A and B are shown apart, each in its own frame.
Chain A
């Protein structure tokens, strides 16, 4: 092995990629898309806010007024300052959401029978004069039910607000009916906030869900880089073959050195991309993003160092494993199309890791999680996820790293053998038995397929 030659290959792979416009466009667009996606999510969910004009057909004749008052009071009092509540609790988050909805209640009398009234209101809804209408029917209320008619029935924020208001009024009504003190109602309305705390070796820290979101974001980043940069290895090998440069290169560099140089160079491109994203995130600064996404700063994920450490560790292990595999798959073929069939193998492996991840989320130390984090091709993603969710036993982490190192060496060795023979194969697409023969082939022994055009 010659360090100088490998370094020359690494530098070429790295700079030729990092210098392209495509790299920078990709690197800058991905965070833009990501933030844009979040912004759209938030924008659409706060569209739940705004004015809600609904009609109420009150057959009981006594619920419409208190409902209207309750909803108006809700809108006024929802600001955290007014409520005087602690930041970051579930209640305060809910209140802030509620603040955005302004209810306008119109009480409609029943004219010409209930069905006729409903028909008239239906027309108004369709004409978009009102958002919807609520029918309070004593017979239904008896069965703890009421009916709301609208063109959209999936506005969860607004609907749950309406539902809660109705429940409150009903609660007060029932308390009054039994002759109990009125302030009992507000006492009964208070809900318990279940805090989730993550138990670690170092004690317990409060987990607000943000940590899980961070872990999943990191998981998705790792997952997509395995794809993107793994596949670039395959394309790189094929490109060298189609451009016929490879024979010139291997008259100076050993095939193993070329392979190693390419894998490292492309991997560094991936790390550069991460670095750029880190810098962008730091410059925008967490509060700015939080403000932009109108999250409270307490809800902003604070990324623990251990998470970053594990991310880099499992990214590197997984990347080397997949890059070797993609290289081995690219080497025998001359076009991406030819390689497509076999390149499904690593693709499916990466995807399979993502398919078990909900099971791992539910039980980070369960059997599925343990098996998936020790099987080499799902291990990098799953073990990373486990370290983010719960603390897996140290021996499992060490075993996982050992398995990954061993399988990377194994796959790289295999890839090296296929690569050495494959990069000189032009012409006919080799069959899988032929490729397997290259693996068994010892240098200096007879090899089946014809090489090149001129023998």
Chain B
């Protein structure tokens, strides 16, 4: 599978402190890729280096098959975390200007701006100054500006921060549509729940370092602690007494049961069915937050071991 973005041993140091430390990852074509981590983990710096706004101190970055060039720049839609518009400019002029600096021919720009403006119900505002628009309207303009040149790769830094619920929904909808057309989305967020719903693959950063990378599905399997949801007509003591059970918790009228790592889940279900009436049974996957915390814990342990 060809990589849309490829980072090899990339580092960026501000003063004595590394903002990004030996980061490598690759983003395959046609997926939604999440760059995750808490504030200060190095997400914005990584994105700025990918966008060639900043040069890395070490390592190599390839975007759309080559180091960033003008030609590649025009194929990328970028939404920085710090966003803004020329406040005194009219909405239409602004959109045409942003299309022009992506070298979109005028007639194409007219066509695309027209259709997006209709989709976002911005037409009455086209001749208003950006200043006169509400914040939500400005976010829509910003969003059109990001995709007006029909990019094949979208790079979005904290795209949902500050968005109102309507625009968040719009953004998510466009995400799906964009990916369905075989295009690639790379975005950063510190909200793991959002990433969990939108990402195919992730890269987790903490304290300037990569701690985890891969397809979300694989990671969930890898971090699964053999948990199952069980709805059964039995009291907690009886459930705890089943073979292979390590612990059990009551959740919403059912149980979350942690099984011994060696226990086969089908075997457990068969044995449970023999004793009690079971109304529901499902595997419980770890959510991204649990994976994150676990990964940080493991990374932390490894660090201590190295020091010792």
Contact = CB atoms under 8 A, between A and B. Distances in A.
Interface of A: 2, 4-5, 8-9, 11-12, 15-16, 239-240, 243-245, 247-253, 424, 426, 443-455
The number of chain B residues touching the other chain, given as a range, is: 35 or more
Contact of A244 (B19, B74, B82, B89): B82
Nearest to B88: A16
Given A251-B51, A455-B19, A243 B103 contact: no
26 contacts: A2-B103, A5-B100, A8-B101, A12-B97, A16-B93, A243-B84, A243-B86, A243-B87, A244-B82, A244-B84, A245-B85, A247-B80, A247-B82, A248-B83, A251-B53, A252-B102, A424-B48, A444-B55, A445-B57, A446-B15, A448-B15, A451-B14, A452-B44, A454-B39, A454-B43, A455-B41
Interface in B7-65: 13-15, 19, 39-45, 48, 51, 53-57
A252 B97 contact: no
B145 interface: yes
A4 B145 contact: no
A444 B39 contact: no
Nearest to B76: A251
A283 B274 CA distance: 105
Contacts of B81: 452-454
B190 to A, nearest CB: 9
Interface of B: 13-15, 19, 39-45, 48, 51, 53-57, 70, 73-74, 76, 78-89, 93, 97-98, 100-103, 145, 158, 208
B78 A245 contact: no
Contacts of A455: 14, 19, 40-42, 44-45, 208
Contact of B53 (A239, A244, A247): A247
B57 A444 contact: yes
Label chain B's interface by main secondary structure.
loop
B86 to A, nearest CB: 6
A5 B103 contact: yes
B113 to A, nearest CB: 15
Contacts of A454: 39-40, 43-44, 81, 158
B102 to A, nearest CB: 5
A449 B45 CA distance: 13
A438 to B, nearest CB: 13
Contacts, number: 103
A368 B127 CA distance: 55
Label chain A's interface by main secondary structure.
loop
Nearest to B15: A448
A253 B101 contact: yes
B238 to A, nearest CB: 51
B87 A251 contact: no
Contacts of B80: 244, 247-248, 251
Contact of A446 (B13, B76, B82, B102): B13
A-B pairs, 5 with minimum CB distance: A244-B84, A8-B100, A251-B78, A247-B80, A252-B101
Contact of A2 (B13, B57, B70): B70
Nearest to A9: B101
A248 B145 contact: yes
A250 B53 contact: yes
Given A446-B13, A446-B14, A4 B100 contact: yes
B97 to A, nearest CB: 5
Given A12-B93, A15-B93, 17 more contacts: A8-B101, A16-B86, A243-B85, A244-B84, A251-B78, A252-B102, A426-B82, A448-B14, A449-B14, A449-B15, A453-B81, A453-B82, A454-B39, A454-B40, A455-B19, A455-B41, A455-B44
